[in-house]
Amino acid sequence: MSVKIGLEIHCQLTTLRTKLFCPCSSDYRDKEPNQLVCPVCFGVPGTLPVLNARAVEYAIRIGAALNCKTASETSFYRKNYFYPDLPKGFQISQYDKAGGMPIAYDGYVQLERKKFRVRRIQLEEDPGKLTYEGTIEKSSYSLVDYNRAGIALVEIVTEPDFESAKEAKVFLEKLRSTVEALGVSDGELEGAMRCDANVSVDEGGRVEIKNISSFKEVEKALNYEILRQSTFTKSSDNHVNETRHWDERRSITISLRLKEGEQDYRYFPEPDLPAVVLSEEFVERVRVETPEVPEARANRYVRDYSLTAQVAMELSRNAALSRLFEETVAIHRNGPDVANWITGESRAEVQKTLMGPGRETLPRRLAELLAMISQGKMTRVQAKEVFRGMLAKGESASSLAGQVGGVVTDEVVIGEIVGRVLRESGAEEARTNPKAFNYLVGQVLRAERRADPRVVAKLLRQKLEPGDNS
């Protein structure tokens, strides 16, 4: 069985302050109905749209992150249809036919070894929201809240490159983390990311599925649809192009039974908005200001700081930890060392500190601590204690160093402890097994946490040498 799935994702640019074409606040969630409206987004006759500059920048960011080409000039089109939630009787959108040019096009997303092509990325406005008294079926009228009308949406359209519902789901999750990392959308907000899908099984008809409310539902809806279509493989029904509606409650898709060719959106260029020229300088500036997505950042860490892929990814997924890492490694130039301290056992405390007032000075303080270790002014065991103190109290490494005492390097003192440990634990295995050797070092350090580990190791090695019976 061959399955082809294409996705059409609508992503609200939730970090914008205003709507796409008017300066009304875009913070519409949990607001009284019809309070965030003005003559423009309410579609009052005579008003005109004025494009939000930052919305254009954000769409370019998404395009760049999905490896798209950015248009040198982009234009808006009217998509004409009627519905009570649509204030103007058309939606201002973009179009990739008849001379139209969306903001970004021809991109891809790489997941494991497979590339999923992105056809286009464009800006458009959200319609208002319909509610009903009682249920949709029983209500004799509908009620409209236009607070959402005019909210900026980015539409991302993929090629039909997905071969299973699982692949689609992985793509969507990756997309969500990408837009979050780009600082353009919080995909967790209710209704911030919505998805339509088209599915065809064994070269059959192309079926559009609309009204999938969340990414969780996408996988369910797609699996249902694949099953439904594959049971029709031998029948003639298989070659019908149609639009179906995902019924979340019943977990099935329902045909919308549209009349033949009923949807004719009559796209044409929006005469109230001149084409927007996206100069090379402008696009470059947007790229420079765009936060790095986690994958790109992790690759850079592996390349420039010799981190392992796993540690690099762990840091990259978190913007605050990444910043701490980069600021610290700029002073203390040992990448793996810095990364291990940040992602190690105190990670929770580190993250807590990064949300408080100690955040600003932490890179300098951590670098100082690591320098003291490498200069032998402090043992790692001591340093762990100091680090915890630093995080909790916001003090510097040097001011806390006194409290953990100095480093003991006296070979007589340490030699005594080494002897005791060897008597208690036995030495045979440690002669050949490095793990056993390290265990012995640990035992010594437990007995005297100030002991310089380099001296401990040296003395242990001497005493384990054959012929030394002292």
Partner 1 sequence: MARLGPSVREAVLRVGAGELSCEEHVASRLERMPRMDRDVHAFLHVAGEQAVLAARELDQKVKRGEKVGRLAGIMIAIKDNICVDGMPATCASKILEGFQPRYDATVVERVRREGAIIVGKTNMDEFAMGNTTTTGAFGPTRNPWNLERVAGGSSGGSAAAVAGGMTTLALGTDTGGSVRCPASYCSIFGLKPTYGAVSRFGVIPYANSLEQVGAFARHADDLRLLFEVISGHDRRDSTSARERGTVEPPAMKGLKVARIREFFGEGINERVRERVLDASSKLEELGATVEEVSISSLGYALAAYYIVAMAEASSNLSRYDGVRYGASLEKGSADWNAAFAKTRTDCFGAEVKRRILLGTFVLSAGYYEAYYLKAQRARSLLRSAFSRAFKKYDLLLGPTMPTLPPKVGERMTPLEDYLADVNTVPANLTGVPSVSVPAGFADGLPVGMQLMATHFAEETLFRVAGAYEEVTA
Partner 2 sequence: MTKPKITVEQVRRLGDLAKLSISATDEERLMGELSSILEYFEVVDKVSDDTRIDRQTEDPGDLRPDEVAPSSPDRVMNGVPQRKGNLVKAPRVF
Q: Per-residue string for binding with partner 1, 393-432, x by CB under 8 A?
A: ----------------------------------------
Residue carrying structure tokens 């100091």: 386
Cβ proximity to partner 2, 266 vs 303, nearer residue: 266
Binding site for partner 2 (CB under 8 A): 16-18, 23-25, 32-39, 42, 44, 50-56, 82-85, 99, 130-133, 136-137, 139-146, 262, 264, 266, 271, 273-277
Amino acid, res. 122: Q
Residue carrying structure tokens 């309410």: 42
Give the pairing of strands 90-93 and 114-125: unpaired
- Can residue 133 be called a binding residue for partner 1 (CB under 8 A)? no
Q: Indicate which of partner 1, partner 2, none lies near residue 45 (CB less than 5 to 8 Å, by partner kind).
A: partner 1
Q: What spatial distance separates the first Cα and last Cα of the chain, rounded to whole Å?
A: 76
Q: Give the Å distances, CA to CA, from 278 to 1, 59, 60, 103, 209.
A: 44, 12, 10, 9, 34
Whole-number minimum distance, CB 126 to partner 1, in Å? 17
Structure tokens at 429: 């295995």
Spatial separation of the C-alpha atoms in residues 395 and 381, rounded to whole Å: 18
Whole-number minimum distance, CB 101 to partner 1, in Å? 15
CA angle 396, 398, 404 (to 5 degrees): 105
Return the bridge partners of 242, or none: 207
Q: Per-residue string for binding with partner 1, 38-57, x by CB under 8 A?
A: -x--xxxxxxxxxx------
Q: Indicate which of partner 2, partner 1, none lies near residue 233 (CB less than 5 to 8 Å, by partner kind).
A: none
Whole-number minimum distance, CB 23 to partner 2, in Å? 4
Q: Indicate which of partner 1, partner 2, none lies near residue 430 (CB less than 5 to 8 Å, by partner kind).
A: none
Q: Give one DSSP letter per residue of 200-248, joined into a string.
A: EETT---EEEEEE-SHHHHHHHHHHHHHHHHHTTTSGGGG--EEEEEET
What is the Cα 145 distance to its own chain's centre?
31
Cβ proximity to partner 2, 144 vs 321, nearer residue: 144
Span near partner 1 by CB under 8 A; candidates 37-45, 237-245, 305-313, 458-466:
37-45
Which strand (E) or helix (H) includes residue 457?
helix 453-464
Cβ proximity to partner 2, 86 vs 199, nearer residue: 86
Spatial separation of the C-alpha atoms in residues 399 and 382, rounded to whole Å: 13
Cβ proximity to partner 2, 149 vs 338, nearer residue: 149
Do the beta carbons of residue 304 and residue 333 sit within 8 Å?
no
Give the pairing of strands 268-269 and 276-277: unpaired
Whole-number minimum distance, CB 98 to partner 1, in Å? 7
Cβ proximity to partner 2, 132 vs 227, nearer residue: 132
Return the bridge partners of 381, or none: none
Query: How crowded is residue 449: how many other Cβ atoms within 10 Å of its Cβ?
Result: 16
Cβ proximity to partner 1, 266 vs 393, nearer residue: 266
Residues in contact with partner 1, total (CB under 8 A)? 35
Q: Indicate which of partner 2, partner 1, none lies near residue 188 (CB less than 5 to 8 Å, by partner kind).
A: none
Whole-number minimum distance, CB 254 to partner 1, in Å? 18
Binders of partner 1 among 66-95, rule CB under 8 A? 78, 80, 82-84, 87-90
Q: Give the Å distances, CA to CA, from 88 to 27, 33, 75, 128, 203.
A: 21, 19, 19, 11, 38
Q: Indicate which of partner 2, partner 1, none lies near residue 48 (CB less than 5 to 8 Å, by partner kind).
A: partner 1
- Can residue 142 be called a binding residue for partner 1 (CB under 8 A)? yes
Q: Per-residue string for binding with partner 1, 249-288, x by CB under 8 A?
A: ------------x--x-xxx--xxxx--------------
Which residues 6+ apart lie within 8 Å of 1 measured at CB? Answer: 201, 202, 230, 233
Whole-number minimum distance, CB 34 to partner 2, in Å? 5
Whole-number minimum distance, CB 53 to partner 1, in Å? 12
Whole-number minimum distance, CB 274 to partner 2, in Å? 4
Q: Indicate which of partner 1, partner 2, none lies near residue 348 (CB less than 5 to 8 Å, by partner kind).
A: none
Do the beta carbons of residue 47 and residue 150 sit within 8 Å?
no
3-state secondary structure of 160: coil
Q: Which residues bind partner 1 (CB under 8 A)?
A: 39, 42-51, 78, 80, 82-84, 87-90, 98-99, 140-142, 144, 261, 264, 266-268, 271-274
